Amino acid sequence: MVCGEEKMKQKLTWKIWLLIIILVLSFLSIFGMPPTFSQKGVLIKSVESNSTAFEQGLRSGQVIISIDSKKVDSFEDFTKIIQEKFPSAEKIKTTIQTKQEEFILYDNQTPQIIVSDIPLTNLKMGLDLVGGSRALVQAQEKKLSTAEITELVDVIRNRLNVYGIADMNIRSVSDLSGENYVLIEIAGATPADLEKLISEQGKFEAKIANKTVFIGGERDIASVGRDAQNARIEMCGKSNEGYACRFSFTVTLSGEAAKKHADVTDKLEVNSTSEGNYLSEKLDLYVDDKLVDSLLIGESLKGQVTTQIAISGSSSGETEPDAYEAAQESMHNLQTILITGSLPYKLEIVKLDTISPTLGEEFSKSILTAGLIALLAVGIIVFIRYKNFKSSIALLITSISEIVIILGIAALVEWNLDLPSIAGILATIGTGIDSQIIILDESRQKEFISLKQRLKRAFSIILGAYFTALVALLPLLWAGAGLLKGFAITTIIGITTGVLITRPAFSDMVKMIEG
């Protein structure tokens, strides 16, 4: 018995061992160590930036394991604990324990965070599978260079990061004509949300007597108040349009902006009113060259270098809750523009589309079922053709190995698996089976040459097909402004893995079977 086992070990060539080692590493990449499906808790998907949770340090990507010392093993546990605790008329203490540290919140509202169960794998799914919106944008009336498009990607990512969005993918792409674009994908967002986030340039200017005293962005804005003490809805009341609510938040200016503000106000006169003494000009706030509000400037600010000022505005709605919500949204948008600054270019949306998460889930199930049925059918056909059960099993193992390795690489590099990527995996399966059948056919040729020479001939055919496919796939990396990039990259990874790893291993398996 021992001799038989030693004989089997000798038959496993280094090529087969290489395949086994890479498969183990691929499984570790997909499921992690410890495996993600064994972990307890809930994953934070996003955190409302203008919230107590955000101010205390909670961020997307963290894992909550307990609330007020109560274990949180799933989304249902989290929902139950929060619903029992809120709403409350007074501010109450909430202790949130993540894997890294503990956070203590004092609030009378539900923590403004979105959570989900921890994913079963490390694979990242694209919008085609999880749902969301995708926009392909370019600068209006300007052809951007590679450096300019990289800057634009960074600014857009910075702006969207302020909203606490976790599942987003922003990258530069180009088409075969050399035109540069930015591809923005946000899971769970509607086309209207995405269009609103990127269609406006968001150029903020504060002017006094038509002179710009500061603009949005790091140059003039040191910080923007977003906690409860420095940002609030001040009052709500009836208006001509139903109800109106006014908001206010503090802004800390840079030293240079504060001095410019002092120089301009020093030349203004003071007007006395029943409400107090104010300067003769107002602080006018513009977003994308549109006046959004005009603020009175107190006499005490005349010629004074002050770094902290208050920005206010108002929004209306049919009901008081509508007006309150609109004021919060307006305040948040204005804060975002002040923090991130304006986009360097006005953008136009070239293509905007969306997909339902339900449709993506159904597609995933259908493609998985179809793939398993196809592999089983191929195995049966190979068995009927070659009358060899071991060869059929070896072919199926090799095909499945290629899929696992592709998914392992995708998990390792955090590549988003979308519909084109799935198509690439299917194409890899097809080319892999073709190559393996060539190897099987060559191994059974009744010619007066050795099995080793016949397998070498098979590999010359396979290599010719590989380089032909590789040359054909390279243009797809840029075709359609990069929207087919997933298909090209996945297929290239698949066929390269096949030529270098799985098909040599399959060839050795055939030698073991036929020998």
- 3-state SS, residue 73: coil
- Helices 503-514 and 14-31 cross at an angle (nearest 10°) of 130
- Calculate mean pLDDT across residues 117-144: 80
Contact indicator for 203, 217 with CB cutoff of 8 Å? no
Contact indicator for 134, 183 with CB cutoff of 8 Å? yes
**Residue ranges per domain, the chain?**
40-117, 132-201+349-355, 205-322, 357-514
By C-alpha distance, which of 502, 414, 420 is closest to 30? 414
Which stretch of DSSP H or E encloses residue 75?
Answer: helix 75-85
By C-alpha distance, which of 351, 291, 290 is closest to 483? 351
Give me the pLDDT at residue 24, please.
95
Hey, what amino acid is at 274? S
- Calculate mean pLDDT across residues 236-260: 87
Which stretch of DSSP H or E encloses residue 396?
Answer: helix 389-412
Write the pLDDT tens digit of every residue in 413-468. Answer: 878 787 788 888 888 888 888 888 888 887 777 665 676 777 777 778 888 888 88
Give me the pLDDT at residue 408, please.
93
pLDDT range class, residue 401, cuts 50, 70, 90 = very high
Give me the pLDDT at residue 19, please.
93
Nearest-5° angle of CA 150, CA 154, CA 158?
170
Round to whole Å and give the CA distance between 395 and 392. Answer: 5
Give me the pLDDT at residue 357, please.
61
Backbone angles phi, psi at 7, to 5 degrees: -65, -40
Question: In this prediction, what percent of the chain has a pLDDT beyond 70?
Answer: 86
- Helices 485-497 and 451-473 cross at an angle (nearest 10°) of 170
According to the 3-state scheme, what is the secondary structure of 323-367?
A: HHHHHHHHHHHHHHHHHHCCCCCCEEEEEEEEECHHHHHHHHHHH
Question: The tokens of 490 are what?
Answer: 């996945």
Cβ-based neighbours of 468, under 8 Å, separated by 6 or more: none
Give the lowest-confidence range in 116-120, 185-189, 400-404.
185-189
- Calculate mean pLDDT across residues 110-119: 82
Q: What is the length of the chain?
A: 515
Higher per-residue confidence, 345 vs 180? 180
Round to whole Å and give the CA distance between 106 and 92. Answer: 5
Nearest-5° angle of CA 226, CA 227, CA 233?
80
Q: Is the dihedral of CA 171, 424, 417, 357 positive or negative?
A: positive
> In CATH, what class is 357-514?
mainly alpha
By C-alpha distance, which of 38, 113, 36, 37 is closest to 79? 113
- 3-state SS, residue 475: helix
**pLDDT higher than 80, residue 279:** yes
pLDDT range class, residue 9, cuts 50, 70, 90 = very low
**Which residues on adjacent β-strands are paired with residue 67?**
70, 96
By C-alpha distance, which of 192, 185, 194 is closest to 166? 185
Give me the pLDDT at residue 406, please.
92
Chain CA centroid to CA 217, Å = 24
Round to whole Å and give the CA distance between 234 and 225. Answer: 15
Contact indicator for 401, 425 with CB cutoff of 8 Å? no
Higher per-residue confidence, 392 vs 345? 392
Round to whole Å and give the CA distance between 483 and 486. Answer: 7
- Say which CATH topology domain 40-117 has: Pdz3 Domain (2.30.42)
Write the pLDDT tens digit of every residue in 299-326. Answer: 888 888 888 888 878 888 888 888 888 8
Give me the pLDDT at residue 5, please.
45
By C-alpha distance, which of 421, 416, 360 is closest to 132? 360
Which residue, chain included where needed, has tokens 């030529």? 499
Give me the pLDDT at residue 409, please.
92
- 3-state SS, residue 358: helix
CATH architecture of the domain with residue range 132-201+349-355: 2-Layer Sandwich (3.30)
Write the pLDDT tens digit of every residue in 211-226. Answer: 898 888 778 888 888 7
Write the pLDDT tens digit of every residue in 161-192. Answer: 655 555 677 888 887 777 888 888 876 556 66
- Same fold for the pair 132-201+349-355 and 357-514: no
Distance from the first to the final alpha carbon of the chain: 21
